[in-house]
Structure 1
Amino acid sequence: MAANLSTSSNYLVAPDTGAEGLTRRVTGRDQEGRAVEMQVVEERPLTIYLNRTEIVTAMTIGDHPELLAMGFLANQGMLRPGEMTGVDHDAELGVVVVRTAGETDYEAKLGRKVRTSGCAVGTVFGDMMEGLEGLTLPATRVKVADLYALAKEINTTPSLYLEAGAIHGTVLCEGPQPLVYMEDVGRHNAVDKVAGWMLREGADPDSKTLYTTGRLTSEMVIKCALMGIPALVSRSGFTAWGVEIARQVGLTLIGRMRGERFVCLSGEERLEWPK
Protein backbone atom coordinates (compact mmCIF):
# COMPACT_ATOMS: atom_id res chain seq x y z
CA MET A 1 0.00 0.00 0.00
CA ALA A 2 1.35 3.41 -0.89
CA ALA A 3 2.13 5.76 1.97
CA ASN A 4 0.56 9.16 2.39
CA LEU A 5 2.78 12.21 2.27
CA SER A 6 4.03 12.88 5.75
CA THR A 7 4.88 16.44 6.73
CA SER A 8 6.39 18.06 9.79
CA SER A 9 7.38 21.56 10.81
CA ASN A 10 10.82 20.97 9.30
CA TYR A 11 10.02 19.12 6.07
CA LEU A 12 7.78 19.48 3.06
CA VAL A 13 7.89 15.67 2.78
CA ALA A 14 9.29 13.42 5.50
CA PRO A 15 9.43 9.65 6.07
CA ASP A 16 6.07 8.28 7.17
CA THR A 17 7.25 5.61 9.61
CA GLY A 18 3.69 4.71 10.58
CA ALA A 19 2.47 4.04 7.04
CA GLU A 20 0.90 0.63 6.58
CA GLY A 21 2.82 -1.87 4.48
CA LEU A 22 6.30 -0.35 4.57
CA THR A 23 7.63 -2.66 7.31
CA ARG A 24 6.76 -6.07 8.72
CA ARG A 25 7.36 -7.51 12.20
CA VAL A 26 9.44 -10.71 12.06
CA THR A 27 10.52 -13.07 14.85
CA GLY A 28 13.84 -14.90 15.11
CA ARG A 29 16.70 -15.80 17.46
CA ASP A 30 19.74 -13.79 18.54
CA GLN A 31 23.31 -14.98 19.14
CA GLU A 32 22.30 -16.24 22.60
CA GLY A 33 19.42 -18.27 21.24
CA ARG A 34 16.85 -15.88 22.69
CA ALA A 35 13.64 -15.09 20.85
CA VAL A 36 13.70 -11.64 19.22
CA GLU A 37 11.15 -9.61 17.32
CA MET A 38 12.05 -6.80 14.95
CA GLN A 39 10.75 -4.63 12.13
CA VAL A 40 12.10 -5.30 8.63
CA VAL A 41 11.39 -3.21 5.54
CA GLU A 42 9.14 -4.58 2.83
CA GLU A 43 10.18 -4.66 -0.82
CA ARG A 44 7.92 -5.27 -3.76
CA PRO A 45 8.20 -4.98 -7.55
CA LEU A 46 6.97 -1.88 -9.35
CA THR A 47 6.87 -1.96 -13.15
CA ILE A 48 7.26 1.40 -14.87
CA TYR A 49 5.70 2.02 -18.28
CA LEU A 50 6.24 4.99 -20.55
CA ASN A 51 3.04 5.11 -22.57
CA ARG A 52 2.61 1.51 -23.83
CA THR A 53 6.21 0.40 -23.42
CA GLU A 54 7.48 -1.43 -20.33
CA ILE A 55 10.71 0.26 -19.24
CA VAL A 56 11.92 -1.38 -16.01
CA THR A 57 10.78 -3.27 -12.92
CA ALA A 58 12.18 -1.80 -9.71
CA MET A 59 12.23 -3.35 -6.26
CA THR A 60 10.88 -0.68 -3.93
CA ILE A 61 9.27 -0.22 -0.53
CA GLY A 62 6.12 0.94 -2.29
CA ASP A 63 5.66 4.54 -1.21
CA HIS A 64 5.43 7.44 -3.69
CA PRO A 65 5.25 5.15 -6.76
CA GLU A 66 4.25 7.96 -9.13
CA LEU A 67 7.21 10.10 -8.03
CA LEU A 68 9.58 7.16 -8.40
CA ALA A 69 8.38 6.50 -11.96
CA MET A 70 8.52 10.16 -12.98
CA GLY A 71 11.95 10.68 -11.46
CA PHE A 72 13.39 7.51 -12.93
CA LEU A 73 12.27 8.42 -16.44
CA ALA A 74 13.46 12.01 -16.04
CA ASN A 75 16.88 10.93 -14.76
CA GLN A 76 17.25 8.54 -17.70
CA GLY A 77 16.55 11.39 -20.12
CA MET A 78 13.29 9.77 -21.21
CA LEU A 79 10.95 12.39 -19.76
CA ARG A 80 11.45 16.13 -19.94
CA PRO A 81 9.64 18.96 -18.16
CA GLY A 82 6.32 19.67 -19.81
CA GLU A 83 6.12 16.36 -21.71
CA MET A 84 4.04 14.42 -19.20
CA THR A 85 0.27 14.47 -19.66
CA GLY A 86 -0.66 12.02 -16.91
CA VAL A 87 0.47 9.30 -14.53
CA ASP A 88 -1.56 6.31 -13.35
CA HIS A 89 -0.75 3.87 -10.56
CA ASP A 90 -2.39 0.46 -10.16
CA ALA A 91 -1.43 -0.76 -6.68
CA GLU A 92 -2.92 -4.22 -7.20
CA LEU A 93 -0.90 -4.86 -10.37
CA GLY A 94 2.18 -2.99 -9.12
CA VAL A 95 2.31 -0.83 -12.25
CA VAL A 96 2.81 2.88 -12.94
CA VAL A 97 2.11 4.27 -16.41
CA VAL A 98 3.55 7.68 -17.28
CA ARG A 99 1.89 9.22 -20.32
CA THR A 100 3.12 11.79 -22.80
CA ALA A 101 1.33 13.48 -25.69
CA GLY A 102 3.58 11.82 -28.29
CA GLU A 103 6.19 9.12 -28.58
CA THR A 104 9.67 9.66 -27.14
CA ASP A 105 13.12 8.35 -28.11
CA TYR A 106 13.01 5.54 -25.55
CA GLU A 107 13.40 2.79 -28.17
CA ALA A 108 16.98 3.82 -28.92
CA LYS A 109 17.75 4.15 -25.22
CA LEU A 110 16.47 0.67 -24.47
CA GLY A 111 18.88 -0.70 -27.05
CA ARG A 112 21.80 0.78 -25.12
CA LYS A 113 20.78 -0.37 -21.63
CA VAL A 114 23.63 -1.53 -19.38
CA ARG A 115 23.83 -2.88 -15.84
CA THR A 116 25.71 -0.86 -13.22
CA SER A 117 27.14 -1.73 -9.80
CA GLY A 118 24.20 -0.17 -7.96
CA CYS A 119 21.48 -1.98 -6.03
CA ALA A 120 17.72 -2.13 -6.73
CA VAL A 121 17.21 0.18 -9.72
CA GLY A 122 20.86 -0.12 -10.75
CA THR A 123 20.06 0.45 -14.38
CA VAL A 124 21.57 3.26 -16.42
CA PHE A 125 21.36 3.93 -20.14
CA GLY A 126 24.59 4.26 -22.05
CA ASP A 127 23.83 7.73 -23.32
CA MET A 128 23.21 9.32 -19.90
CA MET A 129 26.70 10.76 -20.23
CA GLU A 130 25.52 12.59 -23.36
CA GLY A 131 23.27 14.69 -21.14
CA LEU A 132 26.39 16.06 -19.43
CA GLU A 133 27.91 17.45 -22.62
CA GLY A 134 28.18 21.20 -22.22
CA LEU A 135 26.56 21.04 -18.77
CA THR A 136 28.01 23.39 -16.18
CA LEU A 137 26.30 23.63 -12.83
CA PRO A 138 25.87 27.01 -11.10
CA ALA A 139 28.80 27.91 -8.85
CA THR A 140 26.58 28.04 -5.77
CA ARG A 141 28.39 28.66 -2.49
CA VAL A 142 28.03 25.99 0.19
CA LYS A 143 28.27 27.07 3.83
CA VAL A 144 30.07 24.53 5.99
CA ALA A 145 27.89 25.55 8.94
CA ASP A 146 24.83 24.58 6.88
CA LEU A 147 26.32 21.12 6.28
CA TYR A 148 26.74 20.59 10.01
CA ALA A 149 23.15 21.69 10.66
CA LEU A 150 21.81 19.41 7.91
CA ALA A 151 23.70 16.36 9.16
CA LYS A 152 22.38 16.85 12.69
CA GLU A 153 18.78 17.41 11.58
CA ILE A 154 18.67 14.56 9.07
CA ASN A 155 20.38 12.00 11.28
CA THR A 156 17.88 12.58 14.09
CA THR A 157 14.75 12.63 11.91
CA PRO A 158 12.41 9.66 12.56
CA SER A 159 12.90 7.35 9.60
CA LEU A 160 12.55 3.79 8.40
CA TYR A 161 16.34 3.57 8.58
CA LEU A 162 16.30 4.23 12.32
CA GLU A 163 13.31 1.92 12.79
CA ALA A 164 14.29 -1.05 10.64
CA GLY A 165 17.57 -0.38 8.77
CA ALA A 166 18.37 -1.96 5.37
CA ILE A 167 17.33 1.20 3.55
CA HIS A 168 18.81 4.31 1.93
CA GLY A 169 17.77 7.92 2.31
CA THR A 170 18.06 10.97 0.06
CA VAL A 171 17.17 14.48 1.19
CA LEU A 172 16.66 17.61 -0.92
CA CYS A 173 17.95 20.59 1.07
CA GLU A 174 18.30 24.36 0.78
CA GLY A 175 20.83 26.09 2.99
CA PRO A 176 20.53 24.58 6.48
CA GLN A 177 16.95 23.37 5.84
CA PRO A 178 16.09 19.81 4.74
CA LEU A 179 13.01 19.93 2.53
CA VAL A 180 12.12 16.53 1.05
CA TYR A 181 13.28 13.25 2.64
CA MET A 182 12.78 10.06 0.62
CA GLU A 183 13.78 6.49 1.52
CA ASP A 184 13.97 3.20 -0.38
CA VAL A 185 15.81 -0.11 -0.51
CA GLY A 186 18.00 1.26 -3.31
CA ARG A 187 19.76 4.62 -3.18
CA HIS A 188 18.84 5.20 -6.84
CA ASN A 189 15.14 4.83 -6.02
CA ALA A 190 15.39 7.43 -3.27
CA VAL A 191 17.10 9.91 -5.61
CA ASP A 192 14.52 9.27 -8.32
CA LYS A 193 11.67 9.98 -5.89
CA VAL A 194 13.26 13.35 -5.13
CA ALA A 195 13.64 14.00 -8.87
CA GLY A 196 9.98 13.12 -9.37
CA TRP A 197 8.93 15.55 -6.65
CA MET A 198 11.04 18.32 -8.20
CA LEU A 199 9.54 17.62 -11.63
CA ARG A 200 6.00 17.69 -10.29
CA GLU A 201 6.53 20.84 -8.22
CA GLY A 202 8.69 22.68 -10.74
CA ALA A 203 11.35 23.18 -8.05
CA ASP A 204 14.37 25.39 -8.85
CA PRO A 205 17.54 23.30 -8.34
CA ASP A 206 20.13 26.11 -8.40
CA SER A 207 20.24 26.75 -4.65
CA LYS A 208 19.72 23.14 -3.56
CA THR A 209 21.92 20.48 -2.00
CA LEU A 210 21.29 16.73 -2.27
CA TYR A 211 22.15 14.69 0.82
CA THR A 212 22.34 10.90 0.49
CA THR A 213 23.32 7.93 2.62
CA GLY A 214 24.61 6.05 -0.44
CA ARG A 215 27.99 5.81 -2.11
CA LEU A 216 29.05 8.66 -4.40
CA THR A 217 29.30 6.61 -7.58
CA SER A 218 29.32 7.84 -11.16
CA GLU A 219 25.58 7.22 -11.52
CA MET A 220 24.72 9.13 -8.36
CA VAL A 221 26.83 12.08 -9.52
CA ILE A 222 25.29 11.97 -13.02
CA LYS A 223 21.75 11.92 -11.63
CA CYS A 224 22.46 14.87 -9.33
CA ALA A 225 24.03 16.83 -12.19
CA LEU A 226 21.17 16.10 -14.59
CA MET A 227 18.74 17.29 -11.90
CA GLY A 228 20.67 20.59 -11.93
CA ILE A 229 21.64 20.39 -8.25
CA PRO A 230 25.11 21.93 -7.67
CA ALA A 231 26.09 20.10 -4.44
CA LEU A 232 26.00 16.43 -3.42
CA VAL A 233 26.75 15.27 0.13
CA SER A 234 26.98 11.76 1.55
CA ARG A 235 27.80 9.86 4.74
CA SER A 236 29.54 7.32 2.52
CA GLY A 237 32.62 7.37 0.29
CA PHE A 238 33.54 8.05 -3.32
CA THR A 239 34.44 6.25 -6.52
CA ALA A 240 37.15 7.70 -8.75
CA TRP A 241 34.81 8.07 -11.73
CA GLY A 242 32.24 9.81 -9.56
CA VAL A 243 34.88 12.36 -8.53
CA GLU A 244 36.04 12.80 -12.13
CA ILE A 245 32.53 13.52 -13.41
CA ALA A 246 31.83 15.90 -10.52
CA ARG A 247 34.92 17.91 -11.39
CA GLN A 248 33.95 17.92 -15.07
CA VAL A 249 30.53 19.51 -14.46
CA GLY A 250 31.46 21.73 -11.49
CA LEU A 251 29.59 19.75 -8.83
CA THR A 252 30.56 20.27 -5.20
CA LEU A 253 31.10 16.70 -3.96
CA ILE A 254 31.36 15.98 -0.24
CA GLY A 255 31.64 12.53 1.32
CA ARG A 256 32.32 10.76 4.61
CA MET A 257 30.13 13.33 6.34
CA ARG A 258 30.04 12.35 10.00
CA GLY A 259 29.07 15.02 12.49
CA GLU A 260 31.48 17.88 11.80
CA ARG A 261 33.91 15.81 9.75
CA PHE A 262 33.88 15.44 5.96
CA VAL A 263 36.04 15.29 2.84
CA CYS A 264 35.42 17.47 -0.23
CA LEU A 265 36.94 16.12 -3.46
CA SER A 266 35.32 18.49 -5.96
CA GLY A 267 34.29 22.14 -5.74
CA GLU A 268 36.21 22.88 -2.54
CA GLU A 269 36.70 26.46 -3.74
CA ARG A 270 32.93 27.00 -3.29
CA LEU A 271 32.93 26.12 0.40
CA GLU A 272 32.37 28.96 2.89
CA TRP A 273 34.06 28.25 6.19
CA PRO A 274 32.82 29.56 9.56
CA LYS A 275 34.62 32.73 10.61
Structure 2
Amino acid sequence: MKTRRGDLPCPHVERSAVVDLPQIVKRRILRYENGVTEQREVEVVTEYALTVFVDGQEFVTLVCTPSDLEDLVIGFLASEGVLTSYEEIRSLTLSEEDGVAYVRLVTPVTIDPQMFGKRYIASCCGKGRQSFYFYQDAALAKPVEVAPVIAPRQIVSLIERMQRASDLFRTTGGVHNASLCTVDQVLLSRFDIGRHNALDKLYGYQIREKWTSDKLVIAFSGRISSEVLLKVAKMGIGIVLSKSAPTALALQIADDLQLTTVGFVRRGAFSVYTHPERVQLL
Protein backbone atom coordinates (compact mmCIF):
# COMPACT_ATOMS: atom_id res chain seq x y z
CA MET A 1 0.00 0.00 0.00
CA LYS A 2 2.84 2.41 0.79
CA THR A 3 5.63 2.82 -1.75
CA ARG A 4 9.07 4.24 -1.14
CA ARG A 5 9.96 7.75 -2.17
CA GLY A 6 13.46 6.57 -2.99
CA ASP A 7 15.75 9.38 -4.08
CA LEU A 8 13.03 11.59 -5.54
CA PRO A 9 13.39 15.26 -4.55
CA CYS A 10 11.05 16.59 -1.90
CA PRO A 11 9.48 20.03 -2.35
CA HIS A 12 10.44 22.83 -0.03
CA VAL A 13 7.66 23.56 2.45
CA GLU A 14 7.81 26.50 4.82
CA ARG A 15 5.53 28.53 7.04
CA SER A 16 6.24 32.21 6.85
CA ALA A 17 4.15 33.07 9.91
CA VAL A 18 3.47 30.28 12.37
CA VAL A 19 0.41 30.97 14.47
CA ASP A 20 -1.78 28.81 16.65
CA LEU A 21 -5.04 28.86 14.73
CA PRO A 22 -8.00 28.02 16.99
CA GLN A 23 -10.31 25.25 15.86
CA ILE A 24 -12.94 26.10 18.47
CA VAL A 25 -14.13 29.21 20.30
CA LYS A 26 -16.31 29.46 23.40
CA ARG A 27 -19.64 31.25 23.36
CA ARG A 28 -22.42 31.95 25.85
CA ILE A 29 -25.82 30.68 24.69
CA LEU A 30 -29.37 30.21 25.91
CA ARG A 31 -30.35 26.55 26.05
CA TYR A 32 -34.02 25.53 26.11
CA GLU A 33 -34.90 21.97 27.11
CA ASN A 34 -38.13 20.49 28.52
CA GLY A 35 -39.58 23.88 29.42
CA VAL A 36 -36.41 25.10 31.16
CA THR A 37 -34.12 27.84 29.84
CA GLU A 38 -30.57 28.26 31.10
CA GLN A 39 -27.36 30.00 30.12
CA ARG A 40 -24.49 27.80 29.07
CA GLU A 41 -21.00 28.16 27.67
CA VAL A 42 -20.47 25.99 24.61
CA GLU A 43 -17.66 25.35 22.16
CA VAL A 44 -18.26 26.32 18.52
CA VAL A 45 -16.14 25.25 15.55
CA THR A 46 -14.26 28.02 13.70
CA GLU A 47 -14.08 28.83 9.98
CA TYR A 48 -10.88 29.85 8.22
CA ALA A 49 -10.34 31.23 4.72
CA LEU A 50 -7.24 30.08 2.83
CA THR A 51 -6.43 31.64 -0.55
CA VAL A 52 -4.22 29.49 -2.77
CA PHE A 53 -1.86 31.00 -5.36
CA VAL A 54 -0.28 28.76 -8.01
CA ASP A 55 2.81 30.14 -9.77
CA GLY A 56 1.79 33.65 -8.79
CA GLN A 57 -1.82 33.32 -9.95
CA GLU A 58 -4.74 33.44 -7.53
CA PHE A 59 -6.51 30.11 -7.91
CA VAL A 60 -9.10 29.57 -5.19
CA THR A 61 -10.21 30.56 -1.70
CA LEU A 62 -11.10 27.58 0.48
CA VAL A 63 -13.22 28.02 3.59
CA CYS A 64 -12.06 25.31 5.94
CA THR A 65 -11.07 24.14 9.41
CA PRO A 66 -7.52 25.39 10.12
CA SER A 67 -5.77 22.03 10.40
CA ASP A 68 -3.63 19.94 8.03
CA LEU A 69 -3.50 22.86 5.61
CA GLU A 70 -0.55 21.54 3.60
CA ASP A 71 -2.44 18.33 2.85
CA LEU A 72 -5.58 20.33 2.03
CA VAL A 73 -3.73 22.41 -0.56
CA ILE A 74 -2.01 19.41 -2.13
CA GLY A 75 -5.16 17.31 -2.18
CA PHE A 76 -7.27 20.09 -3.67
CA LEU A 77 -4.75 20.81 -6.43
CA ALA A 78 -4.50 17.13 -7.25
CA SER A 79 -8.28 16.82 -7.34
CA GLU A 80 -8.37 19.75 -9.78
CA GLY A 81 -5.71 18.23 -12.03
CA VAL A 82 -3.09 20.90 -11.33
CA LEU A 83 -0.64 18.24 -10.13
CA THR A 84 -0.42 14.46 -9.96
CA SER A 85 2.54 13.88 -7.63
CA TYR A 86 4.24 15.50 -4.67
CA GLU A 87 7.47 15.94 -6.63
CA GLU A 88 5.76 18.32 -9.07
CA ILE A 89 5.76 20.94 -6.27
CA ARG A 90 8.91 23.07 -6.18
CA SER A 91 7.83 24.92 -3.04
CA LEU A 92 4.78 25.43 -0.84
CA THR A 93 4.68 28.41 1.49
CA LEU A 94 1.92 28.75 4.09
CA SER A 95 1.23 32.05 5.80
CA GLU A 96 -1.36 30.96 8.33
CA GLU A 97 -1.65 34.43 9.84
CA ASP A 98 -2.49 35.96 6.44
CA GLY A 99 -4.56 33.00 5.23
CA VAL A 100 -2.48 32.47 2.09
CA ALA A 101 -0.72 29.50 0.50
CA TYR A 102 1.82 30.04 -2.31
CA VAL A 103 2.58 27.04 -4.51
CA ARG A 104 5.36 26.97 -7.11
CA LEU A 105 5.47 24.02 -9.46
CA VAL A 106 8.52 22.46 -11.07
CA THR A 107 6.85 23.06 -14.43
CA PRO A 108 4.95 26.35 -14.10
CA VAL A 109 1.34 26.41 -15.24
CA THR A 110 -0.96 29.13 -16.49
CA ILE A 111 -4.39 29.08 -14.91
CA ASP A 112 -6.89 28.93 -17.75
CA PRO A 113 -10.21 30.41 -16.55
CA GLN A 114 -12.04 28.24 -19.08
CA MET A 115 -10.43 25.17 -17.56
CA PHE A 116 -10.56 26.00 -13.87
CA GLY A 117 -12.05 29.43 -13.25
CA LYS A 118 -11.54 31.58 -10.20
CA ARG A 119 -13.87 30.31 -7.51
CA TYR A 120 -14.78 30.89 -3.92
CA ILE A 121 -15.50 27.46 -2.48
CA ALA A 122 -17.37 27.69 0.81
CA SER A 123 -17.67 25.03 3.46
CA CYS A 124 -21.12 23.84 2.41
CA CYS A 125 -20.73 21.89 -0.81
CA GLY A 126 -18.45 23.69 -3.25
CA LYS A 127 -21.32 25.07 -5.30
CA GLY A 128 -18.97 27.46 -7.10
CA ARG A 129 -18.12 24.95 -9.83
CA GLN A 130 -20.18 25.76 -12.92
CA SER A 131 -18.51 23.27 -15.27
CA PHE A 132 -18.53 20.66 -12.54
CA TYR A 133 -18.78 17.41 -14.42
CA PHE A 134 -17.47 18.30 -17.81
CA TYR A 135 -13.78 19.12 -18.05
CA GLN A 136 -11.47 18.24 -15.20
CA ASP A 137 -13.78 15.68 -13.59
CA ALA A 138 -14.17 13.73 -16.82
CA ALA A 139 -10.42 13.79 -17.37
CA LEU A 140 -9.39 12.75 -13.85
CA ALA A 141 -12.12 10.46 -12.52
CA LYS A 142 -11.49 7.05 -14.03
CA PRO A 143 -13.23 3.71 -13.36
CA VAL A 144 -11.82 1.90 -10.34
CA GLU A 145 -11.27 -1.70 -11.32
CA VAL A 146 -9.22 -2.95 -8.37
CA ALA A 147 -10.62 -2.74 -4.84
CA PRO A 148 -10.82 -4.97 -1.76
CA VAL A 149 -13.73 -7.12 -0.68
CA ILE A 150 -15.29 -6.09 2.63
CA ALA A 151 -17.48 -7.91 5.16
CA PRO A 152 -20.51 -6.45 6.98
CA ARG A 153 -18.78 -6.44 10.37
CA GLN A 154 -15.86 -4.53 8.85
CA ILE A 155 -18.19 -1.91 7.36
CA VAL A 156 -19.86 -1.29 10.71
CA SER A 157 -16.54 -1.29 12.58
CA LEU A 158 -14.84 1.24 10.28
CA ILE A 159 -17.66 3.77 10.61
CA GLU A 160 -17.65 3.38 14.39
CA ARG A 161 -13.88 3.87 14.52
CA MET A 162 -14.06 6.90 12.23
CA GLN A 163 -16.59 8.53 14.54
CA ARG A 164 -14.51 7.82 17.63
CA ALA A 165 -11.44 9.38 16.00
CA SER A 166 -12.83 12.94 15.97
CA ASP A 167 -12.66 14.74 19.30
CA LEU A 168 -13.65 17.98 17.56
CA PHE A 169 -16.92 16.48 16.32
CA ARG A 170 -17.79 15.19 19.78
CA THR A 171 -17.05 18.62 21.23
CA THR A 172 -18.81 20.83 18.67
CA GLY A 173 -20.87 18.63 16.31
CA GLY A 174 -19.74 21.06 13.60
CA VAL A 175 -17.34 19.12 11.38
CA HIS A 176 -17.34 16.25 8.91
CA ASN A 177 -15.06 13.27 9.44
CA ALA A 178 -13.28 11.17 6.82
CA SER A 179 -10.86 8.28 7.19
CA LEU A 180 -8.52 6.32 4.95
CA CYS A 181 -8.84 2.68 5.91
CA THR A 182 -8.03 -0.87 5.01
CA VAL A 183 -10.89 -3.29 5.53
CA ASP A 184 -9.49 -4.04 8.99
CA GLN A 185 -8.31 -0.71 10.39
CA VAL A 186 -8.46 3.06 10.19
CA LEU A 187 -5.10 4.36 8.95
CA LEU A 188 -5.67 8.11 8.91
CA SER A 189 -8.51 10.45 9.94
CA ARG A 190 -9.14 14.07 9.02
CA PHE A 191 -11.95 16.52 9.85
CA ASP A 192 -13.23 19.78 8.43
CA ILE A 193 -16.31 22.00 8.29
CA GLY A 194 -16.43 21.13 4.57
CA ARG A 195 -16.89 17.48 3.72
CA HIS A 196 -14.94 17.92 0.46
CA ASN A 197 -12.10 19.54 2.44
CA ALA A 198 -11.85 16.51 4.72
CA LEU A 199 -11.40 14.30 1.66
CA ASP A 200 -8.82 16.65 0.13
CA LYS A 201 -6.80 16.46 3.36
CA LEU A 202 -6.76 12.68 3.04
CA TYR A 203 -5.86 12.93 -0.65
CA GLY A 204 -2.99 15.31 0.06
CA TYR A 205 -1.56 12.94 2.65
CA GLN A 206 -2.01 9.99 0.28
CA ILE A 207 -0.03 11.85 -2.39
CA ARG A 208 2.73 12.97 -0.03
CA GLU A 209 3.21 9.50 1.42
CA LYS A 210 2.64 7.69 -1.90
CA TRP A 211 -0.03 5.33 -0.60
CA THR A 212 -1.41 3.14 -3.36
CA SER A 213 -5.18 2.90 -3.47
CA ASP A 214 -6.06 -0.68 -4.41
CA LYS A 215 -6.47 -1.82 -0.79
CA LEU A 216 -7.98 1.36 0.60
CA VAL A 217 -11.51 2.21 1.70
CA ILE A 218 -13.01 5.63 2.52
CA ALA A 219 -15.15 5.96 5.66
CA PHE A 220 -17.12 9.20 5.68
CA SER A 221 -19.57 10.99 7.94
CA GLY A 222 -21.47 13.14 5.46
CA ARG A 223 -23.87 12.83 2.56
CA ILE A 224 -22.34 11.19 -0.51
CA SER A 225 -22.86 13.90 -3.10
CA SER A 226 -21.63 13.78 -6.67
CA GLU A 227 -18.62 15.92 -5.72
CA VAL A 228 -17.71 13.58 -2.88
CA LEU A 229 -18.05 10.56 -5.14
CA LEU A 230 -15.85 12.15 -7.82
CA LYS A 231 -13.13 12.97 -5.29
CA VAL A 232 -13.09 9.35 -4.11
CA ALA A 233 -12.81 8.21 -7.73
CA LYS A 234 -9.92 10.60 -8.36
CA MET A 235 -8.15 9.07 -5.37
CA GLY A 236 -8.53 5.70 -7.10
CA ILE A 237 -10.43 4.17 -4.17
CA GLY A 238 -13.23 1.74 -5.02
CA ILE A 239 -15.29 1.62 -1.80
CA VAL A 240 -16.89 4.51 0.08
CA LEU A 241 -18.81 4.01 3.34
CA SER A 242 -21.00 6.66 4.94
CA LYS A 243 -23.34 7.00 7.88
CA SER A 244 -25.47 9.25 5.66
CA ALA A 245 -27.31 9.07 2.32
CA PRO A 246 -26.11 9.30 -1.29
CA THR A 247 -27.66 11.46 -4.00
CA ALA A 248 -29.10 10.07 -7.22
CA LEU A 249 -26.41 11.72 -9.35
CA ALA A 250 -23.67 10.32 -7.10
CA LEU A 251 -25.08 6.83 -7.63
CA GLN A 252 -25.17 7.29 -11.40
CA ILE A 253 -21.51 8.27 -11.31
CA ALA A 254 -20.71 5.37 -8.98
CA ASP A 255 -22.33 2.95 -11.44
CA ASP A 256 -20.25 4.37 -14.28
CA LEU A 257 -16.96 4.52 -12.35
CA GLN A 258 -17.34 1.11 -10.68
CA LEU A 259 -17.42 2.41 -7.11
CA THR A 260 -19.10 0.50 -4.32
CA THR A 261 -21.31 2.91 -2.39
CA VAL A 262 -22.55 1.96 1.09
CA GLY A 263 -24.78 4.39 2.98
CA PHE A 264 -26.77 4.67 6.19
CA VAL A 265 -24.19 2.68 8.17
CA ARG A 266 -25.89 2.89 11.55
CA ARG A 267 -26.53 0.56 14.49
CA GLY A 268 -25.24 -2.52 12.74
CA ALA A 269 -27.18 -1.97 9.48
CA PHE A 270 -26.33 -0.44 6.11
CA SER A 271 -27.52 -0.09 2.50
CA VAL A 272 -25.43 -1.12 -0.52
CA TYR A 273 -26.36 1.09 -3.48
CA THR A 274 -23.84 0.25 -6.19
CA HIS A 275 -21.46 -2.57 -7.10
CA PRO A 276 -22.43 -4.96 -4.29
CA GLU A 277 -20.01 -7.62 -5.55
CA ARG A 278 -17.34 -6.16 -3.24
CA VAL A 279 -19.48 -6.70 -0.13
CA GLN A 280 -19.52 -10.23 1.35
CA LEU A 281 -23.22 -10.43 2.16
CA LEU A 282 -23.41 -14.24 2.06
TM-score range, shorter chain: 0.7 to 0.9
- Indicate yes or no: 2:78 matched with 1:77: no
In 1, Cα distance between the equivalents of 2:206 and 2:173?
Answer: 26
SS across alignment from 1:106: coil
TM-score by length of 1: 0.85
Conserved? CA contact 1:160–1:167, under 8 Å: yes
Which residue identity does 2:56 align to in structure 1?
R
In 1, Cα distance between the equivalents of 2:273 and 2:121?
Answer: 23
Matches within 5 A, 1:25-40: 25-31=26-32, 32-40=36-44
Which residue identity does 2:47 align to in structure 1?
E
Match of 1:65 in 2: 69
Match of 1:11 in 2: none
Give the one of 247, 268, 271 matched to 2:276.
268
Match of 2:58 in 1: 54
Instruction: Quote the RMSD (CA, aligned, Å).
Output: 2.2
In 2, Cα distance between the equivalents of 1:225 and 1:103?
Answer: 26
Which residue identity does 2:104 align to in structure 1?
R
Report deviation, 1:121: 4.2
Give the one of 84, 92, 98 matched to 2:97.
92
Conserved? CA contact 2:142–2:234, under 8 Å: no
Match of 1:249 in 2: 257
Conserved? CA contact 1:116–1:122, under 8 Å: yes
Matches within 5 A, 1:1-275: 21-31=22-32, 32-81=36-85, 82-104=87-109, 106-107=111-112, 108-111=114-117, 119=124, 121-124=126-129, 125=132, 126-131=134-139, 135-273=143-281
In 1, Cα distance between the equivalents of 2:27 and 2:145?
Answer: 46
In 1, Cα distance between the equivalents of 2:56 and 2:44?
Answer: 34
SS across alignment from 2:37: coil
In 2, Cα distance between the equivalents of 1:133 and 1:90?
Answer: 31
Q: CA, structure 1 residues 44+136, in 2 after alignment: closer, same or farther (shift >3 Å)?
A: closer
Range 241-250 or range 101-110, more displaced: 101-110
Q: Which runs of 5+ in 2 are unaligned?
A: 1-19
Which residue identity does 2:48 align to in structure 1?
R
Conserved? CA contact 2:48–2:63, under 8 Å: yes
SS across alignment from 2:115: helix
Conserved? CA contact 1:168–1:183, under 8 Å: yes
Which residue identity does 2:207 align to in structure 1?
L
Report deviation, 1:105: 5.6
Percent identity reads 28
Match of 2:7 in 1: none
CA-to-partner distance for each residue in 1:222-244, whole Å, 9 max, x for gaps?
Answer: 11001101111111101111001
In 2, Cα distance between the equivalents of 1:243 and 1:118?
Answer: 23
Conserved? CA contact 1:68–1:192, under 8 Å: yes
Q: CA, structure 1 residues 134+258, in 2 after alignment: closer, same or farther (shift >3 Å)?
A: closer
CA-to-partner distance for each residue in 1:220-267, whole Å, 9 max, x for gaps?
Answer: 111100110111111110111100111111111111111311111111
Range 168-177 or range 153-162, more displaced: 153-162
TM-score by length of 2: 0.83
Conserved? CA contact 1:59–1:120, under 8 Å: no
Conserved? CA contact 2:21–2:66, under 8 Å: no
Which residue identity does 1:109 align to in structure 2?
M
Report deviation, 1:129: 2.9
In 1, Cα distance between the equivalents of 2:30 and 2:142?
Answer: 55
Report deviation, 1:60: 1.3
Which residue identity does 2:196 align to in structure 1?
H
CA-to-partner distance for each residue in 1:165-202, whole Å, 9 max, x for gaps?
Answer: 11111111111201111111110110110011011111
Size of the aligned set, in residue pairs, is 255
In 2, Cα distance between the equivalents of 1:227 and 1:204?
Answer: 9
Q: CA, structure 1 residues 238+33, in 2 after alignment: closer, same or farther (shift >3 Å)?
A: same
In 2, Cα distance between the equivalents of 1:134 and 1:20?
Answer: 37
Q: Which runs of 5+ in 1 are unaligned?
A: 1-18
